[in-house]
Amino acid sequence: MSTSISGNIRLTYGNHQHNESYSAETAAPNFNNTGHDYSAGADRATYHANVGTALSAGSLDSAEGLLLISNNNTVGKLCVSLDAGTSWDIKIPAGLANLVSVGPDHPVHIKTDIADRTNQSVSSVTTTGGIVFAAAIPEAGTYVMTANASPDNTTSGPAFIMKTEVNSTTNGKVYELDGSTLKDLATGPVYTGATHVNLANVADYRFTLTEA
């Protein structure tokens, strides 16, 4: 039995609009393509220098399919490879999504391309989530920030989400791990000029991958 595929895509770019609707029926299962399964889920991409990590798609067979993937970050891009991490032509900005046809030869790989930073010195913090670093953060993005040295913090101190809105800035905003609740770092686990933190770039994403 075949499986129906349909969808609507609308792109608005300034005054330009492009709308497409599509509908198709897959071929009936056969010995080479035994089912019309799909995989759907959400995960967090981290930095990798080379091939990244394979999309956790379960045990889908090798039939070609469609990948719908969204970058759930509010800041920072998500990198997608369709050839097992050899090339990274798809870079999805924060808050956007991509629908692409996936071939049967190579698995989809995911990563971010902003390297981790260690021992980043903190200059000051506020009760409303503001943080100022002693040196600029080169690239805007979303980071898991972990204190590694300061008063009231251990060598693997509490972790929070830190976001920078522009490249080469010393200013960021700190949130609880939900990424939306601003964190007061000036009260309780005090961050001071003696605080050093590690920053790990991340991108949260959601996906659906079909077999056909």
| Residue 123, in any domain of the structure | yes
Query: Is 155 part of any domain?
Result: yes
- Rounded CA-CA distance 39/154 in Å is 40
Q: Is residue 86 part of a domain?
A: no
- 73 φ, ψ to 5°? -65, 155
- 73 within a domain of the structure (yes/no): no
pLDDT, tens digit, 9 for 90 and up, residues 89-133: 999 999 999 999 887 778 899 999 999 999 899 999 999 999 999
- Does residue 32 belong to any structural domain of this protein? no
Q: Is residue 194 situated within a structural domain?
A: yes
CB atoms within 10 A of CB 66: 16
Q: Where are the alpha helices (DSSP H) in 90-168?
A: none
Residue 124 structural domain: 117-202
153 in any annotated domain = yes
Considering its fold, how many domains does the chain have in total? 1
Asked, for residue 174, whether it belongs to a domain, the answer is yes
Query: Is the sign of the CA dihedral 161, 39, 54, 166 positive or negative?
Result: negative
Please give the single-letter amino acid code of residue 32: N
pLDDT tens digits along 128-184: 999 999 999 999 999 999 988 765 566 667 889 999 999 999 999 999 999 999 999
Is the pLDDT at 211 greater than 90, yes or no? no
